[in-house]
Amino acid sequence: MTILTLSPTAPAHERGNRTRKPHRPRRTGSHAFLLLCVAYFFLPLWWLVVASTKSNSALFNGAHGSLFFDDEMSFFDNLAQLTTRGDGLYWRWIGNSLFYAVSSGVGATVLAVLAGYGFAVYHFRGRNLMFSVLLGAVMVPSTALVIPTFVLLSNLRLTDTVWAVVLPSLLNPLGVYLMRVYIQDSVPKELLEAARVDGAGELRTFATIALPLLKPAVVTVLLLTMVAAWNNYFLPLAMLSNPDLLPVTVGLGQWQRLSGAGAGGEQVWNLVVTGAFVSVIPLIIAFLGLQRYWRGGLTLGGVK
């Protein structure tokens, strides 16, 4: 004798409700906040783009306001005035900023990579104490060190030279901290030990095993240092007095003070704004050109 057991069958609409995914409430508040943040950071850049296309009079008396383009495009006229003013002094400032940013960025990155690798891989006496001092140096604002640095370099007779800007910028405690943290997480000790067992020296182990895994961190520290050196204002302002050695930040600051000197000063606000816009372009190119190293380094550091 066979006994059939029937299980209750739910209606079709109830079975559909069981398999339906739970409804997630829309996060309109967070999306609105993100849109406000985007507008907050994008608005100054938009104003800079619009203002760089206006003449000196249209900046303050434009018919379309400060956030909209005027009928007359004066961007190329402003570029021509930038080129002719002071025999092309603005482009010399751009070249100085590029030199300071590249030399300081590359030098500070090399020192940060070497120091971070030493802190992460080697064990030596006083390592924790030295790293604690390094973390304390991160908390000190760089502007607080300008005056002591000026006194030190003045005694060495290095003020009003390019070394007065480059040498202090080589010290990057934050870069050393970032490199140590990244090396500890992305460079397996098994790889280093295997290289040493195979007879590789410490320098070869670092160059062939560790360094290829550090591309994302190296690019990050390089960009942070270059941006900081490019935007540096107080240090070159205190160290330099020769106009031919000034970076673009300090040079535009001098033109700004000239425009704000009152009725007796020459109004060059259009040159200040256009020069500020042109000075942003190298940073944008650097970010766009180096971002592929971040994407390429996401899969590095794994051990099979």
> Is 24 domain-assigned?
no
28 falls within a domain: no
Number of domain units in the chain = 1
Of 116-125, 250-259, 291-300, the range with the lowest mean pLDDT is: 291-300
Q: How far apart are CA 252 and CA 268, in angstroms?
A: 10
For residue 280, being part of any structural domain is answered with yes
Residue 22 in domain: no
In DSSP notation, 131-184 reads HHHHHHHHHS-GGGGHHHHHHHHHHTT-TTSTHHHHHHHT--HHHHHHHHHHHH
Rounded distance, CA 28 to CA 36, Å?
12
Cα 174 to Cα 73, 163, 263, 287: the distances in Å are 43, 22, 45, 20
Query: Which of the listed ranges 47-61, 154-168, 277-291 does the model predict with the highest average pLDDT?
Result: 154-168
Q: Tell which residue, 176, 162, 157, 178, has the closest CA to residue 247.
A: 162
- Chain length of the chain: 304
pLDDT tens readout for residues 173-212: 999 999 999 998 888 888 888 888 888 888 888 888 888 8
Give the pTM.
0.81
pLDDT of 65 > 80? The answer is no
d(CA 89, CA 96): 11
In a 13 Å sphere around the CA of 282, the CA atoms on its Cβ side amount to 20
pLDDT average, residue stretch 248-269: 74
Is 5 within a domain?
Answer: no
The parent domain of residue 136 ranges over 83-296
| Residue at token pair 């994302």 | 216
Q: Find out whether 277 and 250 touch, Cβ atoms under 8 Å.
A: no
So what's the pLDDT on residue 199?
85
Residue 196 lies in a domain: yes
Judge residue 148's burial from the number of C-beta atoms within 10 Å of its C-beta, 0-12 exposed, 13-18 middle, 19 or more buried. Answer: exposed
CA distance 190 to 192: 5
Q: What is the pLDDT of residues 7-59, one digit of tens each?
A: 455 555 555 555 555 555 567 888 889 999 999 999 988 999 988 888 887 78
Q: Count the Cβ atoms, other than its own, within 10 Å of residue 41.
A: 9
Calculate the CA dihedral of residues 87, 88, 90, 91 and round it to 10 degrees. Answer: -150
Predicted local confidence at residue 275, as pLDDT? 92
Residue that wins the pLDDT comparison between 117 and 4: 117
pLDDT at position 18 is 53
Tokens 């961007």 correspond to 75
Q: Which amino acid is at 168?
A: P
**What percent of the chain is helix, strand and coil (3-state, nearest 5)?**
70, 0, 30
Q: At what angle do helices 248-259 and 89-121 cross, to 10 degrees?
A: 140
Burial (Cβ within 10 Å: 0-12, 13-18, ≥19) of residue 70: middle
Average pLDDT taken over every residue of the chain: 83
Looking up tokens 């690798």 gives: 117
| 215 Cβ neighbours under 8 A, 6+ residues apart | 293, 296, 297, 300
Q: Does residue 65 form part of some domain?
A: no
What DSSP state is assigned to residue 234? Answer: H
**What is the percent of the chain with per-residue pLDDT over 70, rounded to a whole number?**
84
User: Residue 298: which residues within 8 A CB-CB, separation 6 or more?
Assistant: 216
Specify the CATH number for the domain of residue 203: 1.10.3720.10
For residues 164 and 239, the answer to whether their CB atoms sit within 8 Å is yes
- 92 within domain boundaries: yes
Q: Which two tokens stand for residue 151?
A: 């006194």
pLDDT tens, position by position, 95-147:
999 999 999 999 999 999 999 999 999 888 888 899 999 888 888 888 888 89
Spatial distance between the Cα atoms of 76 and 61, rounded to a whole number of angstroms: 20
